[in-house]
Structures are given as C-alpha cells and as structure tokens.
A and B are shown apart, each in its own frame.
Chain A
Amino acid sequence: MKITLKVWRQKNAQDKGKLVTYQLNDVSPDMSFLEMFDVLNEELLLKGEDPIAFDHDCREGICGACSMFINGKPHGPLQTTTCQLHMRSFKDGDTIVVEPWRAKPFPVLKDLIVDRSAFDRIMQAGGYISVNTGVTVDANEIPIPKSIADEAFSAATCIGCGACVAACKNASAMLFVSAKVSQLALLPQGQAERKRRVQKMVAQMDAEGFGACTNTGACEAECPKHISITNIARLNREYLTAKVASEEMIEDEIAA
C-alpha cells in the first residue's frame, strides 16, 4: 500500500510545531499503525533525520501509553488503541493526518508525546481505598453479587490513555474520573471513603483545567475500552449526594 502521512512535528514544549508530510510506498496491510511508524522512523534515521517521538509500550492495547489522534479521531477509525489498529483499516493511496492529543491539561512534550501526569494527580487525590498492606480479613468474607462485581470490573478496565479527553470538545476528563469513582462506589470496600473520594477527585480534575461534560458522548464513542457514559451519570449522582449529604467537612482539605 502507498500511504501519505501528515504528522505533527514539534521539537519540544516551547516549539510552535507544524504538520510535515511523509510518503510511504511499501506499507503492508498486516502492519500495526505503530509498526508503520517504526518503518518510517528507520528511514528517517538512515537519512540522519530526527525520528518521530510517540508514546507506546505494551503494544497489546492495555498499558494506555499510545495516544495518536488519527484523522481527527483519538486512536483512529476503530474503537481500539492505536497499537491495535492495523493498516488493513486503511486504503491504498490514503492520506492520514496524525496529531497528538489536544487538550490544555495535556501539554505536548515532543511530536506526538503529551504529558498526562494530570491523570496521575487526580488518582492521587482519591482514586484508592485507604488500606495498608497486611489486612487479615479473608477475601471471601466480603461476598459481592456477581452483577455488582462485573459492573465494577467494567469501569475498572479504563487504561488511562486520555482518548476521552482528546475526543471531547471541552477536553473533559469526566469519563476517566467516573470510571474510578464508579468502581469504588459500587464495591462494599469503597463505602467508607465514598463521599470524600468523589469530591476530592472532582476538585483535582477541575484544578487541572479539564472542561465540563456536555453529555455529547464522544468520549464513550471513542473509548478503546468501551467505558460506558453511564459512569458519568453515576459520578454526577455521587457528587450531588456527597455535596448535599456530606458527613465530613472536607472543603478545607480540598482547598489545601
């Protein structure tokens, strides 16, 4: 296959950046999208040019590192991760535009690599159950109905890639935040910190500069792990309940 690539090149965070065109003449339909970039990078290197920097690691669709905005869609035409997209999804002669995630809380570091540490900070704000190592309660002493466990698992499969933010016109991180809030709100182990968690995570999300949810649903449509927008509804409910009926005064803590 012949493919024309228009790729965002940006030397570093300060650089303005621009699209650069590359011509590939021998692309195999069995290649993954990232393997096409490997081939291009080898060519660039041999010519003495700087290869294109992009995040990637497991190449099995689970680590959440890869993050290309392909023809106006996060991870491209299929609802999967960039590493699991194969060139058989494109046609001979296609022109493909590849950009980094575009969102203010995700600044570009170089080429297609963005800084997603905002997600880590949201998790640090409350995306956990406060339990030290060494609990002695037997795991089977907490029976959890299968339907609840399955629902919690579905939410927990989020890989933190940021496609939801990239897809959203407001760069909202609601799908990401709601996935963790849902998982832990559904489980009996998560009840003690339920109200506190949702408030702290939402406060951090706002502090990072992510936008508000518009209920458009682009995040769900693009999520490679099919995280459901139902989780956002649950997040809103959790947040409202926590604000209305909060037993704990945590505002000071959030402000701090």
Chain B
Amino acid sequence: MKLDSKIPDGPLAEKWYKHKFNLKLVNPANKRKYDIIVVGTGLAGASAAASLAELGYNVKAFCFQDSPRRAHSIAAQGGINAAKNYQNDGDSVFRLFYDTIKGGDFRAREANVYRLAEVSVNIIDQCVAQGVPFAREYGGLLSNRSFGGSQVSRTFYAAGQTGQQLLLGAYSALSRQIASGKVQMFTRTEMLDVVVIDGKARGIVTRNLVTGKIESHSAHAVLLCTGGYSNVFFLSTNAMGSNVTAAWRAHKKGAFFGNPCFTQIHPTCIPVSGEHQSKLTLMSESLRNDGRVWVPKDPSDKRRPQDIPEHDRDYFLERKYPSFGNLVPRDIASRSAKEVCDQGRGVGASGLAVYLDFADAIKRDGKKKIEERYGNLFDMYQQITGENPYETPMRIYPAVHYTMGGLWVDYNLMTTVPGLYALGEANFSDHGANRLGASALMQGLADGYFVIPYTIGDYLAGMAPTKIGTDHPEFKKAEEDVKAQINKLLNINGKKTVDQFHKEMGKIMWDYCGMARNAEGLKFAKKRIQEIREEFWNNIKVTGTNEELNITLEKALRVADFLELGELMIDDAAHREESCGGHFREEYQTPEGEAERNDEKFAYVAAWEYKGANQAEVLHKEELVFENVKLTKRSYK
C-alpha cells in the first residue's frame, strides 16, 4: 500500500482555500441521514462533535470519564497560539507556520502546519464568541504572552487555566447539541474496538464501565479524538485514565501508526518525591517567561539556593542560548536539565532537579504582578511540595508530557482505514518531532472546529447513507473478540498487579526510550518489554467480574495495549538513526551536544503497519517535501 497524503497542489497559502472548494458537499437535507461516532471529548472531540451536530449530522459521542467536561485537555495551563498579530510585533500566519515547522525540527508536513496557522485566528474568534474569558488588558482587548520557541507574543491565555476554559467552551457547545438531540452522549464508556466492514470503518464496540455491558454502535464514519499515549511511561503529566487503547485497536484494524517514538519531555515538572508517586505535575512553560533556570556551578555546593551568590550560579540556558535564553523550546530545555544533572549538579534530595527562580522577576515587577500571572501555579507547587516559591526557587525536572506521534492521517485527517479519522493529539500530523508550547490546544481545536467539518463531507458524499445494523457478523465478531480478551484477563489469576507491570514497563521506557536513546539500550529495552508482556499474560491478577464497575479490569485492558505500543515505539526509535526534536539518539549529536539531524535519510514520516500478534510491523515512508522553508540546523543560540 502506498501512502497518499492527499496534499493539495498549488502555492502553500492557497492550498486549504482551494481544497475547501474542491471538497464534495453533503446537502443540508441529507446530512441528517449520516451517523458519525466521535470517541473522546477533549478539545478535538468536543469541538468536532458540536460542529458536526450543528451542521446536521447525527453524532454519537463517547468518553470514559463521568462527564465530557473532564477530558484531559482541561489540564492544559499556559495558552493557545494564534497568528493575530494583535501586538504588532511582526507575527503573521507565515511566521507561526515557520516557527512550528522549525520547532518540530523539520519533521512535519508543510501543508498541514500552514493550515493550522491559518485557522488559528478563527479559533480565538470562535472561543471569545462562546464566552471563553481570556485574559484582557485594561482597555478591554485581549492580552498575549510569549512562549518557548518564538520571538513574538502570540499566546492567548486565561491565567494558568487556558485548557480548562477552552474545554469548557467546547463542552458548552457540545452540551447545547446534546440538548438539541443531535448528539447522543455516552459517558463512562470505553471504546474497545473499531469495526471495519468492506474496507470501511463502520462502527465501534464499547464497554459500559458501570455495568460491564459490551455494546456495538454503527455509523458512517468514526472519529478518534482520544489524546496521546504518554502513560506508556507510567509516570507522565497525563491524567490517570489517559490511554492508547482506542488508537491502538484501530492500529490493529489497519490504521498505520505515525512516528510513535516522537514523545515530548516537558522541562518544567515537579520532581518525583518517592516510590508512591502516581503521576507527575506540570508547571506551565509560561513560567519560563519570568523564571530563571539555574544550578550551582560546583556539584559539591549544598548551600540553600538563596545563600548561593550570583557568581556561584550557572544560568545554563542563558549561557548556552543567549538569544532565546530561558525560552528555548522544550526538547532543548529538557536535555540541558538532564545534562547538568548528569554532571552531578542537580539539586534537591534526589539530585534530579534544577532551580526555576523568580527572585529577579519579583524584584523587578513586584510580588503582586507575579501573583497575578502565575498565582494558581505557585499555589499548586506549594500544595504539592510544601515549599513557598515566592521565597525559595522552585525545583523542576523534565517529564513526559505529550506525544507528537499518533495515528497516521492524510491532509483530510483520515487514517489508512477509509472512514476512520484521527484528530488532535491522537494523530501524528502537525508537530513533527517536537511540539511548541501553546500549540496543542490550537491543533485540537483547529481539527475539530475548522478542518473535519469540511473534510468529512467529501467522504460521506461519496457513500450511500444506508445503515448497517449492529447484528452484522463483523460487529458480532468484534464483540466476541473483546469478550474473549476480558475473560482471559479475568481468568489468569496470577500474582502481580496491573500497576506493578505498568511501573516496570514505564521505567524501561523512561530509561531507554526517554530523553536520550541509543541502539544498545533500545535493543535491551525491546527484549525486556517482550518479557514483561509475556509475564503479563501469564501472571496478572485481575479481581472481580466483567459485569460490574471494575477498576482493575479497566486498567488491565489499557496496560495490555501499552505493552504492545511500547515495543513499536522502541522499534521506531531504533530505526531512526538521527536525532531530531524530542528524539535524541546519543550516537547522533554535534560536538556541542546538540541534536544532529540527517535530512538525506530521515526526512520522512515513519508510518507503521500492524501485521499480526508478535510479528514485526512493516515500515512505510511518507517523504516530507519542503518547498517553502529551508532545512536549517535548528539553532536557538
């Protein structure tokens, strides 16, 4: 099978405009004859479900949480980028496009990224119309701040709770459509399989998380808006429930997985406090606007941070990257923190932390101003660590935060399975090998509000609105497969818990497929993941039955999929013999320790095809063509 990205012809700035005209339309009276399934209700899912229902389609939306309002987009803190140029500081659609392509270390598609930058301005208009209370200036106009990887101020925000406010906006639009009857909402429901009939995605199989009931839902198209898979590392900033199951099961039904090894390690998280740690907490990147990152120059310097004089401190980001300073992109900031910790200069009890210091900003702007900007973040830090960041510098360390990889999609957001789409973090498309801050919210909403409503019509217009009943043999077979897997898990009755397996796998992934990777380590990790998976299926202990609210069973089903995904991530990381963005292969670095790309050999998207249990996946390459930007060495010096 040849990958066709369906990128429209013509100049970059006209592609989307022309494409929209060329897409087929479903006439208003016919839209009500089509059913669309949306899995996940985060920014991408909620915005897609609401927008499609507004157009007249019948939508069934699913989430595993008790309410669509709790999807993990809610936890995004810092902001959302848009090329409004309200600050008159030289921003433009092209600059946002360029920053994003460069930030992604030239491993994303030009056309997709340009479209993203183009619709970014509409997103802000849309959200304001919904009543999203963005931060404002005294004149009543919208306020902006700067973010990593950019030299303009284009980030819109609502204190440190931007994701919450945007998601509640999308949730309100979704609620309106639920009330109108155009969206049927299924909460506490987990998707466990995609049903493909005659080569097209025609529905899903779900488990009701309260009653355990396995059910089928039929539709004309299925949208996966199910987020990322950072929890493969066990410890990450993702919510406890975030999982890869929907995307992975789709992968096993024929959807290629794009760039699975591209994971983002966020530089500013609260360090691990002990064995009991269940997840990591992010401190917004916006803190790097005013906080200065440093460690003591001397590894043996154990003084309290406030007692260490200026000349004994190493502000390593400012020293290494004078033009971007503390605002270098995330991958670079994370790696630099790892580097100083590896040199033994890390701080705190574990030595795995660096300082993020606000003393200068407080001196310059006053405590009140800093409190206004970051109050809730400072409170959160104090609640978790018991330390007051107004008085003593924060301690931060990198943590897994976002996955740029995901299901491969074409320009229309369709996966390699016709009728199956992937939106938001669940797809691989716009961030290349590294995502810039405040771009995840932008992409989720771009896909849901402004891309899928256009592109899905082109697909549906080409198919008859005939419905397929859930008594079709393919639905029955998928249900039986799901039930068989559940029964298997319930009957192993082994000696180890799901969390034990999950932690074991997570540590292997973090140590060998995390911030720095090498061929030997990856080889070892692959073997270990296979062993852990083998043991999982022989020694897992899942109590209770299927026909009840069973939290252990829920977790076991998710971890089973992580154990398969983990191996693919390792394969992907091993095959990509270059360093780019968040993917740092120790063998490929410049003498100064910067990532060394290999554009000759690796300027492509790696799209992996599933070939069956315990069989090697097949690599397909989508060559990336750069017509509008010059591939340069990404420098933030």
List the interface of chain A (C-beta within 8 A of B).
11-12, 28, 30-32, 34-36, 38-39, 42, 45-46, 48-51, 53, 55-65, 78, 80, 84, 86, 88, 109-110, 113, 115-117, 119-120, 123-125, 127-140, 142-146, 149-150, 152-153, 156-157, 159-160, 183-184, 187, 189-190
Partner of B549, one of A56, A113, A160: A113
The answer on a CB contact under 8 Å between A123 and B171 is yes
**Contacts A32-B278, A42-B499, A133-B126 hold; do A124 and B133 have CB atoms under 8 A apart?**
no
| Contact mask for chain B residues 139-169; partner A; CB cutoff 8 A; 1 contact, 0 none | 1111000000000000000110101110010
Chain A residues, CB < 8 A from B122: 134
Nearest CB of A to B168, in Å: 7
B459 at the interface (CB under 8 A from A): no
User: Besides the contacts A32-B278, A84-B380, A113-B549, what 13 more A-B pairs have beta carbons closer than 8 Å?
Assistant: A28-B273, A31-B274, A86-B386, A131-B173, A135-B129, A137-B129, A140-B84, A143-B140, A144-B140, A145-B138, A152-B133, A153-B165, A189-B129
Partner of A132, one of B54, B65, B175, B495: B54
Chain B residues, CB < 8 A from A109: 210, 549
Question: Complex: how many Å from CA A135 to CA B185?
Answer: 25
Partner of B128, one of A49, A65, A113, A139: A139
The answer on a CB contact under 8 Å between B126 and A123 is no
What 9 A-B pairs are tightest by C-beta distance, nearest first?
A143-B140, A128-B172, A153-B133, A139-B128, A133-B51, A124-B179, A57-B239, A63-B70, A149-B136
Nearest CB of A to B66, in Å: 6
Partner of A187, one of B47, B131, B279, B495: B131
The answer on a CB contact under 8 Å between A86 and B383 is yes
Partner of B277, one of A12, A35, A124: A35
Interface positions of B from 58 to 96, Cβ below 8 Å from A? 65-70, 72, 74-75, 84, 86
In the complex, how many residue pairs between chain A and chain B have their CB atoms under 8 Å apart? 219
The answer on a CB contact under 8 Å between A62 and B67 is no
Question: Complex: how many Å from CA A80 to CA B47?
Answer: 29
Chain A residues, CB < 8 A from B282: 60
Chain A residues, CB < 8 A from B5: none
B187 at the interface (CB under 8 A from A): yes
**Contacts A61-B380, A189-B130 hold; do A38 and B125 have CB atoms under 8 A apart?**
no
Chain A residues, CB < 8 A from B137: 146
**Contacts A42-B499, A117-B67, A119-B67 hold; do A58 and B136 have CB atoms under 8 A apart?**
no
**Contacts A139-B125, A145-B140 hold; do A80 and B68 have CB atoms under 8 A apart?**
no
**Contacts A62-B75, A120-B175, A157-B164 hold; do A143 and B128 have CB atoms under 8 A apart?**
no
Question: Complex: how many Å from CA A156 to CA B167?
Answer: 11
Nearest CB of B to A164, in Å: 16
Nearest CB of A to B69, in Å: 6
B286 at the interface (CB under 8 A from A): no
**Contacts A50-B544, A60-B380 hold; do A131 and B130 have CB atoms under 8 A apart?**
yes
Nearest CB of B to A252, in Å: 16
The answer on a CB contact under 8 Å between A49 and B124 is no
B373 at the interface (CB under 8 A from A): no
Chain A residues, CB < 8 A from B500: 42
Nearest CB of B to A149, in Å: 4
Partner of B541, one of A46, A58, A152, A190: A46
Closest to A119 in B: B67
Partner of B552, one of A51, A132, A139: A51
Closest to A63 in B: B70
The answer on a CB contact under 8 Å between A140 and B86 is yes
B450 at the interface (CB under 8 A from A): yes
Closest to A187 in B: B131
Question: Complex: how many Å from CA A21 to CA B466?
Answer: 57
Closest to A157 in B: B161
Chain B residues, CB < 8 A from A136: 125
Chain A residues, CB < 8 A from B67: 116-117, 119-120, 160
Question: Complex: how many Å from CA A64 to CA B71?
Answer: 10
Interface positions of B from 470 to 503, Cβ below 8 Å from A? 495, 497, 499-500
Chain A residues, CB < 8 A from B241: 57
| Best-surrounded residue of A149, A150, A187 (most CB of chain B within 10 A) | A149
Nearest CB of B to A231, in Å: 14
**Contacts A60-B75, A86-B386 hold; do A144 and B239 have CB atoms under 8 A apart?**
no
| Contact mask for chain B residues 239-282; partner A; CB cutoff 8 A; 1 contact, 0 none | 11100000000000000000000000000000001101111011
**Contacts A109-B210, A130-B176, A133-B51 hold; do A189 and B164 have CB atoms under 8 A apart?**
no
Closest to B493 in A: A48
The answer on a CB contact under 8 Å between B140 and A59 is no
Chain A residues, CB < 8 A from B86: 140
| Best-surrounded residue of A57, A137, A149 (most CB of chain B within 10 A) | A57
The answer on a CB contact under 8 Å between B66 and A84 is no
Chain B residues, CB < 8 A from A150: 133, 136
Partner of A124, one of B140, B176, B384, B543: B176
B606 at the interface (CB under 8 A from A): no
The answer on a CB contact under 8 Å between A58 and B497 is no
7 contacts between A and B (CB under 8 A): A11-B548, A58-B70, A59-B240, A123-B175, A128-B173, A145-B136, A183-B131
Closest to A111 in B: B549
Closest to B50 in A: A133
B135 at the interface (CB under 8 A from A): yes
Question: Complex: how many Å from CA A133 to CA B49?
Answer: 11
The answer on a CB contact under 8 Å between B129 and A65 is no
**Contacts A51-B543, A57-B70, A59-B239 hold; do A190 and B131 have CB atoms under 8 A apart?**
yes
Chain B residues, CB < 8 A from A78: 383
Chain B residues, CB < 8 A from A86: 383-384, 386
Nearest CB of B to A198, in Å: 15
Nearest CB of B to A145, in Å: 5
B616 at the interface (CB under 8 A from A): no
Nearest CB of B to A80, in Å: 6
Chain A residues, CB < 8 A from B142: 139-140
Question: Complex: how many Å from CA A201 to CA B159?
Answer: 27
Partner of B274, one of A28, A51, A145, A159: A28
Chain A residues, CB < 8 A from B187: 117, 120
Question: Complex: how many Å from CA A178 to CA B189?
Answer: 30
Chain B residues, CB < 8 A from A51: 543, 551-552
The answer on a CB contact under 8 Å between A39 and B543 is no
**Contacts A117-B187, A123-B175, A128-B173 hold; do A34 and B278 have CB atoms under 8 A apart?**
yes
